[in-house]
Amino acid sequence: MRAARWIYLLAVAVAPVGSAAPALAQPAPAQAPTAQSVSPAAFARFVEEVWPDAQKAGVSRTTFDRAFKGVRPDLSLPDLVLPGKKPDETRGQAEFVRPPQAYLDRDQLARLARTGKAFMAKHISWLERIEQEIGVDAHVVMGIWGRETAYGTHKLPHYAIRVLATQAWIGRRKDMFRVELIAGLKLLEDRIVTIETMRSSWAGALGLPQFMPSEIDQHAYDIDKDGKRDIWNSVPDALASAAKQLKSKGWTFGLPWGFEVELPAKVDCALEGPTEARPLGEWARLGLARVDGKSFPAKHLGASAYLMSPGGTHGPIFLVSENFKVIRAYNTSDLYAVFVGHLADRIAGGGDFARPWRGIGQLPTAQIAETQERLKARGFGISIVDGKIGSNTRRQIGLFQRASGLGVDCWPGVETLSRLRQPARTR
């Protein structure tokens, strides 16, 4: 996903929205791998250990052997547990290792918006049918489509079975990927896809909308009524399938994903996060206003919203709705959801963010994890130390900064980490 975009989190989507942590429970710490444990012979043994589970799922030995013919593990993939490598040294998803202004690149968003408008005009009849039949706004479908595969132009680089097997063997989320590997083999057994078309992202996401194998049966949608739910070759089916997944996660038609806002003096970014959610009208009474000068839509004043600042006070700040959480369920990342929502707005005629990014630097993952660990040790509400800057981490940083007399910017920086390294002051 972006790397891979529609990783398994697309399917389960149960991680707390206030954290950028994966949706699955954290696995128990494994023993440090050795060169011998990641040898070709060890991989071959792992593959044979998968066979009984595949057989129980209805996969024939012929399909199994064809799927794994000539397959070697791909040790270049992100999120692997490799000998001599610490977790923070392995390449991760762009949403978590790039600063916000790099991920939400202005030029890329502008290009995708231009292409999206042309693509939407070409497929408008199908998109209108999707709105009527499934109940998901066309512009957000375009936002997903643009982020995932640049409107179908991005070619998936990997053989999915190789990816899924590698991740199930030595990935950080082995159990999850083992399930997906079996599901992928079953797709081959049932001839839903061929070995030649079994191309994927680094996380094993398939087809034009990049579904994980276990999701295809649940969300693939035959909107062109040709008797096939074809997410590989049919653009209408792929668009409808993306919409179906949004709808199944709770999409509310017509509800904006969010609004860029200015904070009044009495409200700071430490109020961020879903635990501080309140009706949009209440935020307005606290003095928050849209940066474009427009009023919040009267019909949505009762809708729940929460404050979200992906770059702390160093960039745009938003009030986001339940639909933001739906987008975020595809990939448990605030930046991903902002990218999709903002791209959708631009395709619909909107412009750039009003507040500029102020050249935010990003600490190394290890120092972000240290910030979380030290906040946790001081009693702040950090439940998972993962080196990822999620909404809850920003909020807890803001609360610490407020309590310590620092400037409240809700961003993990050198000054905040330096203060955390000092002994706690007693009253």
Length of the chain: 427
Sheet holding 304-308, edge to edge: 278-279, 304-308, 317-321, 258-262, 289-290
The H or E element containing residue 262 is strand 258-262
CATH fold, domain 9-92+156-218, is Helicase, Ruva Protein; domain 3 (1.10.8)
- Is pLDDT above 70 for 214? yes
CA distance 199 to 293: 46
Q: Residues 125-149: pLDDT tens digits?
A: 999 999 999 999 999 999 999 998 8
Higher pLDDT, 23 or 412: 412
pTM higher than 0.75, yes or no?
Answer: yes
Output the pLDDT for position 93.
52
**Does pLDDT of 112 surpass 80?**
yes
Contact between 223 and 293 under an 8 Å Cβ cutoff? The reply is no
Least confident piece of the model among 133-137, 246-250, 422-426: 422-426
- Residue range 77-89: average pLDDT? 75
Provide the pLDDT for residue 20: 33
Could you tell me which of 230, 225, 151, 226 has the C-alpha nearest to residue 194? 230
Please answer whether residues 410 and 394 qualify as being in contact, where contact means their C-beta atoms are separated by less than 8 angstroms.
Answer: yes
93 compared with 332, residue with greater pLDDT: 332
pLDDT one-digit tens code per residue, 365-378:
999 999 999 999 99
Q: Is the confidence at residue 190, as pLDDT, over 80?
A: yes
Domain ranges of the chain: 9-92+156-218, 365-421
- Judge contact between 11 and 5, C-beta under 8 A: no
Q: What are phi and psi of 305, to 5 degrees?
A: -150, 155
DSSP string, 355-373: SPP-------HHHHHHHHH
Average pLDDT, the chain: 88
What is the arithmetic mean of pLDDT over 199-226?
Answer: 93
Determine how β-strand 310-313 pairs with β-strand 289-290. unpaired
